[in-house]
Amino acid sequence: MEQWIAAGRVRVNGEPAAVGTRIGAGDRVLVDGRSLRPHRGETARVLLYHKTTGEIVSRDDPQGRPEVFEKLPRLHGAKWVAVGRLDFNTSGLLIFTTSGELANRLMHPRHRIEREYAVRLLGELSEEQMRALRTGVQLADGPVHLDSIEDVGGQGSNHWYNVVLSEGRNREVRRLFEALNLKVSRLMRVRFGPIALPAHLKRGQMRELDEAEISRLLATLEFQPRIAASKISTGRPARPQPSEPRHQRRGR
């Protein structure tokens, strides 16, 4: 395909293509004037996993702790990409996908995808602390604030809160409460963007989204995966381009 592009034989939406040109589902691609169809391979897969505490989101932990990737289905010609991480002592929703583009769309800071957590504290927040969490708390790597915080009650010294933020820094939620001298005794991610942890998904269990669910996810994110021009196919071989007129070749 790169040779076809260099020879000027490929056009995208009427314009000459360049190596690395990105092509979406609505683009019109011609090679030697003939229409191409994109070759996309398999649809991206998305897997939801209910992480337990005591597992690490890593493929190579020097301490030999249980790794979540060891539990995931085996793939051929692809790999699972983790959408964000949860630390060793945090449980809840982990998302894995075979699409690096989709993972980047969910994780990139500029998209400000919400993360929601259930937080159990030893003690109850004061109104002043609630206000500080909403307006911003200074951490070592910069200020952080919660998009929302909801008191959901508790018993004894334990108190539960649901918090939402749109960043993904390392141990961000724990550090945020520690900055106010509050101890988090349990932390669980219950939602990542439009995907909530299914109520029936028990700890250590996983569920793969079907094609309809993935289509709805992409639509919600207003995200259309794109493919490189080097990965398009005519469905039949293109005619060779002669280096000289055919009648001259016949005379040899």
Residues forming the active site: 87
Burial environment of residue 241 by CB neighbours within 10 A (0 to 12, 13 to 18, 19 or more): exposed
Is residue 23 within 8 Å of 29, Cβ to Cβ? yes
Measured over all CA atoms, what is the biggest interatomic distance in the chain, rounded to whole angstroms? 98
The whole-angstrom separation of Cα 6 and Cα 134 is 55
d(CA 91, CA 87): 8
Q: Answer for the pair 9, 241: CB distance below 8 angstroms, yes or no.
A: yes
Q: Could you give the count of Cα atoms lying within 13 Å of 38 in the half-sphere of its Cβ?
A: 18
